[in-house]
Chain A
């Protein structure tokens, strides 16, 4: 069984640009979660999608957005990139009350 896959693995952008990160959940999982892991700040919850709907968002500005597609894959969009957006972006998926399974993340660097 394939795990959670994320693309791209690494990305370099400059301030003000926009970026889209992608996540494919484990087959059968309907919930997708996005987390940010910035240096020194730990893992912080960003967005949660379930059955195509946004269920909750963390304490992040509106320039962080996303969506979940009918096949349950998901995109995370970040507009007007700032230096502090440099981080590892992790996607996780789950089904119901089962534990979350994480991908290995996208490393985003802002120059």
Chain B
């Protein structure tokens, strides 16, 4: 699975939108972009994934650049509960159910 680059940390005010960037300049045409997050004292949880088009679900939105070399996870209104480490992970189409490769992720702090 190709490598991703994320900022070490970010800070947001509560109820403001948060844009978490991820660079993946070596992404291949069949790599999916996955996001997981890990809240304090919990295991990681799946957030969202996409291939080319922007994706929305109840947790977040994923905006994917046209050249697919970068993507942004968008939390529309940050809450204190969103404080976590966010991981951007590339998964090849043929990765199937192989293990995830985690980088260091971005630690998001939310200020009340």
Contacts and interface: CB of A to CB of B under 8 A. Distances in A.
Interface of A: 4, 31, 33, 35, 42-45, 48, 50, 55-56, 58, 90-92, 94-105
Given A42-B103, A42-B104, A100 B46 contact: yes
A97 B96 contact: yes
A102 B39 CA distance: 12
A48 B96 CA distance: 13
A4 B105 CA distance: 23
Given A99-B34, A99-B49, A45 B43 contact: no
Categorize the interface residue count of chain B: 10 to 19
Contacts of A43: 44, 87, 100, 102
B45 interface: yes
B99 A56 contact: yes
Contact of A100 (B42, B100, B103, B104): B100
